[in-house]
Amino acid sequence: MFGAPKAIRRIVAGVLIASAVLLRPSASKALDNVTLITDFGYNGRHAYFFDALDKGYYRDAGLEVKIVRGQGSVDAIRQVGAGNAMFGFADAAALILARANDNIPVKLVAIVYGKPPQAIFCREDSGLKKPKDLEGNAIANPAGGSIPDLFPAFAKAAGIDAQKVRWVVASSESLPGLLAANKVPCVGQFTVGEALLRSQLGSTKLVRFAYSDAGLSYYGNGIVATAATIASKPDVVHRFIEATVRGMKDAFADPAAAGAIMQKIIPQVDATVAKQETAAVAELAQIPGKPLGEIDPARIDATLDVVKGAFRLATPVAAADVYAPGFVPK
């Protein structure tokens, strides 16, 4: 080839370049459009999704991904069930309740919070020192979230009367400000959101009542999709999970970089808080001996037991109704 005329070399080079372009997912065929809805707004705990988005992992997988804000796990599940989003980031217990009581056919396809993330955070100067002290006090939390949903299970395990606690409905974005201004003594917040609360409370100290501290053990949030999507578009599900796991691995290996990416895309998110939240997610997500995202059937059964022990379900729910295996890369 090196002895060939320049015109021929240009033609060959052009063919090679064209072939390379055609091999790219974006050029060989149209990208599959995918919408992901979060549980609550945009927060540092979601940084790994944005890491995968920013680094092109979703496009590498042939996906055009749009991430939209949710207003709670229940909202995310309903939006996915209604077809307004292909995937949702939602709580496993909320999914079980939605399946049993509202017949929403949504399943987990990957798990992120392998341990319970739910907690109640109170101002230390409110005088609340133990779970029993929550009785007679108010807790602010968005409507339709897993924290109030699972509170009866926590109350039972902690030996308190759930009926003596008053819930105040507030948006997820307002919770840190309400606590900082002492408008409420306590707020519901995942353990991964502790850094966000502390960033706004200044010198005021927090008391944390984590559901896991009461001995509860179950799955938290994961990625959900409808049974119809799982059956009709398994390749899209697999590609989305694989790209997301790539983002998780990068984010957990370098939370500071993930926090910077999160702030770049969503400027109102503080990069330092996002770094700390990402590190907290890593603690919940990384289970020794288990691939990131893999769903353990035994943990599904444990989650079902917790929900069934705390609620009367309208219709029976089995493990097969809750999750679909086989989508997490080994």
> What is the mean predicted confidence (pLDDT) over 83-97?
95
User: Domain 118-214: which CATH class?
Assistant: alpha beta
Residue 289 has pLDDT above 80, yes or no: yes
Give the pLDDT confidence of 121-149 residue by residue, as tens digits.
999 999 999 999 999 999 999 876 778 88
> What's the rounded mean pLDDT across residues 265-282?
96
Task: Name which residue leads in pLDDT, 142 or 213.
Answer: 213
Q: Are 76 and 64 in contact (CB under 8 A)?
A: no
Spatial separation of the C-alpha atoms in residues 222 and 96, rounded to whole Å: 13
Q: How far does Cα 136 stand from its chain's mean position?
A: 31
Question: Where do the structural domains in the chain lie, given as residue ranges?
Answer: 31-115+219-322, 118-214
Burial of 7 per CB tally in 10 Å (0-12, 13-18, 19+): exposed
Q: What is the pLDDT of residue 11?
A: 41
DSSP 8-class letter at 40 = B
Q: What is the pLDDT of residue 25?
A: 46
CA distance 119 to 172: 14
Q: Tell me what the mean pLDDT of segment 184-212 comes to.
A: 92
Q: Residue 142: enclosing H or E segment and its boundaries?
A: none
Task: Compare 4 and 171 and report the one with higher pLDDT.
Answer: 171
Burial of 215 (0-12, 13-18, 19+ CB in 10 A): exposed
Of 3.40.50.1820, 3.40.190.10, 3.40.50.620, 3.40.50.720, the CATH number of 31-115+219-322 is 3.40.190.10
Task: Residue count of the chain, please give it.
Answer: 330
**What is the mean pLDDT of the segment spanning 256-276?**
97
Residue 60 phi/psi, 5-degree rounding, is -60, -30
Report whether pLDDT(50) > 90.
yes
Cα(54)–Cα(49) distance, rounded to whole angstroms? Answer: 9
pLDDT band at 99 (very low <50, low <70, confident <90, very high): very high
Contact (Cβ atoms closer than 8 angstroms) between residue 82 and residue 62: no
Distance in angstroms (rounded) separating the CA atoms of residues 300 and 149:
17
Token pair belonging to 280: 């907290």
